[in-house]
């Protein structure tokens, strides 16, 4: 029985100030900020990571505000690792934002980026490519939500030294294609949040294709249940070494 550390690498925290951040749970408000983090602790997570979201398109100034909300959350909840946003409408400003977050605030994670909601830029746009250069040079992993694997592959081809984490396996057909892409590129990883893990055997299949060192545990809380996702991991036929990679070591390696 695995008794090691659990890191949830894909969450979306919110504050009690609904004007600064919006709870995006499918069934509405899940409680207070304190209850949000308490639920993750209840499920065994000692460290959690992810970006603060809002509903609808965001300007560069608005995503900077989300980033500072994330910093404020870390002050109140030390177990939280902020994930920050960028915007291809201002690539120079986004690169400065990355430099400031990295050097002044010790931030080591970008994303989850969600262009489908925030409209912050198609992931292989010229502006985003400029931003990736800075992310690569700083060694900051980028976690992106993207359903177009051709776009993801374009980024992977152009930035072989960028640490790119694909968000969500999705369901059967898409998951198999995503795992094949992750296996193809040494700099690609995938987090197992969202759709997919409820399919029996998905995680064992992913480990067989990609290797356990390229898979990160994530829940997508509060959109999805952290307890159900963690139960899905433990129900699969995995060794303790594979579980340790997925549940903590891969995230720690990426941010080191």
Q: Is residue 194 in some structural domain?
A: yes
| Number of domains making up the chain | 1
pLDDT at position 210 over 80: yes
The answer as to whether 53 is a domain residue is yes
What is the rounded average pLDDT of the residues 43-67? 96
Q: What is the pLDDT of the chain when averaged over all its residues? A: 95
Query: In this structure, how many other beta carbons lie within 10 angstroms of the beta carbon of residue 180?
Result: 12
Which pLDDT score is estimated for 242?
A: 98
Q: How far apart are CA 58 and CA 122, in angstroms?
A: 14
Residue with tokens 């198609």: 122
What is the predicted pLDDT for the residue at 1?
83
Angstrom distance (rounded) from CA 12 to CA 134: 24
| CA 39 vs CA 35, 54, 159, 217: distances in Å | 6, 21, 37, 16
CATH of the domain at 220: 3.20.20.140
- Where residue 19 falls among pLDDT bands split at 50, 70, 90? low
Q: Is residue 2 part of a domain?
A: no
Q: Structural domain of residue 240, as residue ranges?
A: 7-255
Q: What integer pLDDT is reported at residue 123 of this predicted model?
A: 98
Nearest 10 degrees: CA dihedral of 219, 149, 81, 35?
A: -30
Q: What percent of the chain has pLDDT over 90?
A: 91
Neighbours of 46 (CB within 10 A): 13
In a domain, 1, yes or no: no
The predicted model scores a pTM of: 0.96
Q: Residue 70 and residue 53: Cα distance in Å, rounded? A: 10
Structure tokens given for 99: 């430099």
Residue 39 in domain: yes
pLDDT digits (tens, 9 = 90+) for 107-166: 999 999 999 999 999 999 999 999 999 999 999 999 999 999 999 999 999 999 999 999
């Amino acid at each position: 029985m695995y008794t090691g550390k659990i890191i949830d690498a894909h969450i979306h925290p919110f504050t009690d100030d609904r004007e600064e951040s919006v709870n995006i749970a499918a069934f509405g408000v899940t409680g207070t900020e304190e209850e949000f983090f308490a639920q993750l602790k209840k499920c065994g997570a000692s460290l959690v990571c992810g970006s603060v979201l809002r509903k609808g398109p965001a300007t560069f100034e608005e995503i900077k505000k989300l980033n500072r909300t994330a910093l404020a959350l870390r002050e109140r909840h030390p177990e939280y690792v902020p994930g920050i946003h960028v915007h291809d409408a201002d690539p120079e400003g986004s690169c400065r934002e990355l430099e400031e977050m990295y050097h002044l605030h010790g931030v080591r994670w970008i994303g989850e980026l969600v262009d489908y909601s925030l409209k912050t830029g198609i992931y292989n746009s010229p502006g985003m490519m400029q931003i990736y250069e800075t992310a690569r040079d700083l060694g900051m992993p980028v976690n992106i939500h993207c359903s177009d694997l051709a776009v993801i592959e374009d980024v992977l081809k152009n930035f072989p030294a960028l640490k790119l984490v694909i968000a969500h396996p999705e369901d059967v057909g898409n998951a198999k294609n995503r795992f094949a892409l992750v296996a193809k590129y040494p700099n690609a990883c995938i987090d197992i949040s969202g759709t997919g893990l409820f399919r029996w055997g998905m995680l064992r299949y992913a480990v067989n294709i990609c290797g356990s060192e390229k898979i990160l545990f994530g829940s997508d809380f509060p959109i999805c249940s952290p307890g159900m996702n963690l139960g899905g991991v433990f129900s699969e036929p995995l060794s303790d070494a594979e579980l340790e990679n997925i549940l903590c070591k891969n995230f720690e390696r990426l941010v080191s």
